[in-house]
Amino acid sequence: MAEKKSLEKIDDYRWRIPESLAPGMRVPGLVYANEKLLQAMEEEPLKQVVNVAHLPGIVNYSLAMPDIHWGYGFAIGGVAAVDIEDGVISPGGIGYDINCGVRMLRTNLREKDIKDKMRLLIETLFSRIPSGVGSRGKLKLNRREGAEVLHKGAQWMVERGYGTAEDIEFTEEKGRLAGADSTKVSQRAMERGAKQQGTLGSGNHFLEVQIVEEIYEPEIARVFGIEKGAITVMIHSGSRGLGYQVCDDYLRIIGGAVHKYGIELPDRQLACVPINSPEGKDYFAAMAAAANYAWANRQYLLHLTREIFANVFDATPGELGMGLIYDVAHNIGKFEEHTVGGTKKKLFIHRKGATRAFPPGHPELPVRYKACGQPVIIPGDMGRASYLLVGTEVAMTETFGSTCHGAGRVMSRTRAIKAAKGRAIHQEMEKKGVVVRTEGRNTLAEELPEAYKDINDVIDVVHQAGISRRVAKMKPLGVIKG
């Protein structure tokens, strides 16, 4: 494979994969990375960037963020925009965990307030928030309610009292992606989802209590409502079994229709159909429903978090200042308006392991953030740091308003488990000042900090390239994982 060798340096943070590399490429690849990240990068994700460039209707570039890593079909950390007239929609370009995403909330607590209660807080979060493989939610929804959630997303939860109107205001798409249709979601998917609403999940999903360690843009941080030394919370979860089943169902349907539309693909997992085809429309409606399930899920997890904080600190969530800063999706497909070759166009954007990063003044932004831009929440590994960034105009012109989504793995899970053998990861984390509770036996080893790229490198690239700007850095204090 010659993908890495073929990279052409544009500047210190941008690399082009020329269209001439493979005969079927319709556009070049554009990779955001620095020398260090590139050196550590495997060939496979770059090959996947090349494969994605084969998609009919793809516009400008097959984009790769600096946290890119080897996925199935599409690389994780990629963005593909397609023309809605002659472009395609691909379930693999969004992934199994539809609307996997992150939300971040502020508190008015300081380290001194939580120091003595940290262990109790983490224990309580761990015991009351269902997590891990096979966990069941406490929220029992009947069939009708289950379908309503798919149409209304986070708004359904807020109507039931699990949150505030402000939470909706500060969620991407207001927590409800338009065009969802629960009748396009299979009975199996509904079944898998029914028991898992309000659960964190396993693997890299987590809930983390953090402290703001550094502020880079005080003005914007003020608008986001955080300052140095403040305690914040980050929640990372998605659409659980419902989303996985929707993806699997439609990969099969769409996989069977690829030839009907005369589409040739280098990898079966890239299966796609025209956006305007019946199969494409059905998939979008089901995907939007799964996205709404995920927003409802994160909304309910936020509600549980507030209740637990209120109990542990003996104060109301209002008194604790527990407002939502923002909620972003990082596995999703959306119709958005972008400027291509000087003219405004409606495009369909696949973001798989990439975060929307809209600039100041964008009509989609809530009034409070209109002047500064969209908050972009980027979780790191459990030992190092996470970041809060802001969207920029450069992202709008170069990456269809997108940026990275996390640190990105460098080690396979099996390698991480080997690397962790004989080590007391729990104690290592405690030494770093992080209290960790996990459900799964291997989770702690698989999620070893060094199994991930250094988040600081990833953030440096997106910041220097200008596709989002650093606002604040948070350090983990306590984590619960599935």
Sequence ranges of the binding site for GMP: 204-208, 330-331, 379-382, 386, 405-408, 481
Restricting to residues 210-249, name those near other proteins by CB under 8 A. 241, 244-245, 247-248
d(CA 234, CA 240): 18
Considering the rule CB under 8 A, would residue 440 count as an interface residue with other proteins? Answer: yes
Q: Could you give phi then psi for residue 215, rounded to 5 degrees?
A: -115, 130
Q: 69 or 384: whose CB is closer to other proteins? A: 69
Considering the rule CB under 8 A, would residue 90 count as an interface residue with other proteins? Answer: no
d(CA 150, CA 180): 7
With tokens 């929220």, the residue in question is: 139
3-class secondary structure per residue, 223-288: HHCCCCCEEEEEEEECCHHHHHHHHHHHHHHHHHHCHHHCCCCCCHHHCCEECCCHHHHHHHHHHH
With tokens 């104060």, the residue in question is: 315
Considering the rule CB under 8 A, would residue 203 count as an interface residue with other proteins? Answer: yes
Instruction: Report angle CA 362, 99, 305 to the nearest 5 degrees.
Output: 95
Q: Which residues are annotated as a binding site?
A: 97, 204-208, 236, 330-331, 379-382, 386, 405-408, 481
> Min. distance of Cβ 169 from other proteins in angstroms?
31
Burial class (CB in 10 A: 0-12, 13-18, 19+), 16: middle
> Min. distance of Cβ 189 from other proteins in angstroms?
10
Considering the rule CB under 8 A, would residue 309 count as an interface residue with other proteins? Answer: no
Considering the rule CB under 8 A, would residue 192 count as an interface residue with other proteins? Answer: yes
Considering the rule CB under 8 A, would residue 146 count as an interface residue with other proteins? Answer: no
Burial class (CB in 10 A: 0-12, 13-18, 19+), 33: buried
Is-contact 359 396, C-beta < 8 A? Answer: yes
d(CA 306, CA 325): 14
Q: 316 or 412: whose CB is closer to other proteins? A: 412
Restricting to residues 260-289, name those near other proteins by CB under 8 A. 267-269, 271
Considering the rule CB under 8 A, would residue 76 count as an interface residue with other proteins? Answer: yes
DSSP states along 36-54: HHHHH--HHHHHHHHHHTT
> Min. distance of Cβ 146 from other proteins in angstroms?
14
Considering the rule CB under 8 A, would residue 127 count as an interface residue with other proteins? Answer: no
Using the contact rule CB under 8 A, the part of the chain among 107-115, 188-196, 302-310, 456-464 near other proteins is: 188-196
> Min. distance of Cβ 149 from other proteins in angstroms?
18
Of the residues 54, 303, 350, 405, only one is catalytic, namely 405
Q: Which helix (H) or strand (E) holds 299?
A: helix 278-313
Annotation marks residue 362 as catalytic: no
> Min. distance of Cβ 42 from other proteins in angstroms?
7
Instruction: By CB under 8 A, name the binding residues for other proteins.
Output: 42, 44-45, 69-73, 76, 95-97, 132-134, 188, 191-192, 201-203, 241, 244-245, 247-248, 251-252, 255-256, 267-269, 271, 409-415, 440-442, 482
- Catalytically active residues are 405
